[in-house]
């Protein structure tokens, strides 16, 4: 009962905070808000005209820096899913944006769809659960990379998807031109590979690729489908990173951010 009360309080605080942001046009001086001077969790990633969101910042054994998102955001045919989906070519330019305004460009360097095809993976459930891509940052845009999850802090490493009933913490953007908002929710069902996360704030197609933290601040999941009801399909980040590490991106790991707090402060 105490845990449910804590979760309800956090959710209520997030809703009040979000409504405050919407009513005032956004916090002008919030240290946690996304600004055009950084790229990281919540940054809009525009690939072949499709807008998704960055999950977390990553680096590999060679020191290369990436933004993670969903591989389904970078396919040749937008409607194709799972094993039938074909990745756009590696080297495809990805536009980085904040509220629709360009802040730089990155390059598609890894797609789980391409990696699974090369590995001979044909199981539909496996294809659906491994939906992860990496956009490499170079030059001046690399210097803008910030690992911090706005409003919440973290991440603090990677962990498996939490069990149903566990609170999780992420970001929402109600329209392409809107600010990012903090959103919290609960894992409502699922298994170790794919779960449903239900949030009070509605989800949009642009939320695909964004990440969730667990109640200890670990990076745990990637949004691969979203609905206006607030239901989000979330796949395991730990599994996706492990597969990428074994299929071309050696030493891939999430870049840690500042201390996590399960209370959005605007």
pLDDT of 27 higher than 80: no
Return the higher-pLDDT residue of 19 and 259.
259
pLDDT at 175: 87
User: Residue 204: its pLDDT value, please?
Assistant: 87
Return the pLDDT at 78. 78
Could you tell me the residue ranges of all domains in the chain?
A: 2-22+151-238, 44-142
User: What are phi and psi for residue 50, nearest 5 degrees?
Assistant: -100, 130
Give strand pairing partners of 253: 59
User: Average per-residue pLDDT in the chain?
Assistant: 87
The mean-pLDDT minimum among 5-9, 60-64, 141-145, 202-206 falls in 5-9
Between 76 and 13, name the one with better pLDDT: 76
* Predicted confidence (pLDDT) per residue in 161-215, tens digit: 999 999 999 999 988 889 999 999 999 999 999 999 999 988 888 999 999 999 9
CA distance 216 to 45: 27
From CA 184, how far away is CA 199, in angstroms rounded?
Answer: 6
Q: Does domain 2-22+151-238 have CATH number 2.40.10.10?
A: yes
Asked whether residue 240 carries a pLDDT value surpassing 90, the answer given is yes
pLDDT of res. 101: 95
36 confidence band (pLDDT: 50, 70, 90): low
Span of 16-20, 131-135, 217-221 with lowest mean pLDDT: 16-20
Per-residue pLDDT of 106-123, as tens digits, reads 999 999 999 999 999 999
User: Do residues 21 and 32 touch, judged by C-beta distance below 8 A?
Assistant: no
Question: What value does the mean pLDDT take over residues 54-68?
Answer: 98
Q: What are phi and psi of 102, to 5 degrees?
A: -65, 130
């Amino acid at each position: 009962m105490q845990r449910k009360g804590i979760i309800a309080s956090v959710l209520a605080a997030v809703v009040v905070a979000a409504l405050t942001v919407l009513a005032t046009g956004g916090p002008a001086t919030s240290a946690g808000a996304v600004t055009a001077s950084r790229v990281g969790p919540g940054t809009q990633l525009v690939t072949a005209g499709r807008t998704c969101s960055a999950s977390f910042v990553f680096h590999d054994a060679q020191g290369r820096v990436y933004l993670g998102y969903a591989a389904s955001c970078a396919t040749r045919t937008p409607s194709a899913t799972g094993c039938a989906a074909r990745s756009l070519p590696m080297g495809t330019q990805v536009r980085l944006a904040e509220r629709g305004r360009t802040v730089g460009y990155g390059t598609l360097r890894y797609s789980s769809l391409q990696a699974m095809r090369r590995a001979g993976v044909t199981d539909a459930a496996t294809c659906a659960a491994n939906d992860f891509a990496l956009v490499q940052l170079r030059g001046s845009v690399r210097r803008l990379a910030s690992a911090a999850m706005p409003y919440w802090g973290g991440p603090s490493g990677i962990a498996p998807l939490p069990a149903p009933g566990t609170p999780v913490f992420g970001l929402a953007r109600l329209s392409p031109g809107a600010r990012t908002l903090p959103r919290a929710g609960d894992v409502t069902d699922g298994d170790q590979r794919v779960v449903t996360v239900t949030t009070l704030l509605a989800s949009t197609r642009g939320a695909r690729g964004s990440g969730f933290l667990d109640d200890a601040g670990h990076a745990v999941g990637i949004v691969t489908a979203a609905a206006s009801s607030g239901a989000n399909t979330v796949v395991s980040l730990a599994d996706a990173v492990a597969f990428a590490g074994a299929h071309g991106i050696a030493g891939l790991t999430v870049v840690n951010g500042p201390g996590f707090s399960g209370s959005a402060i605007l």
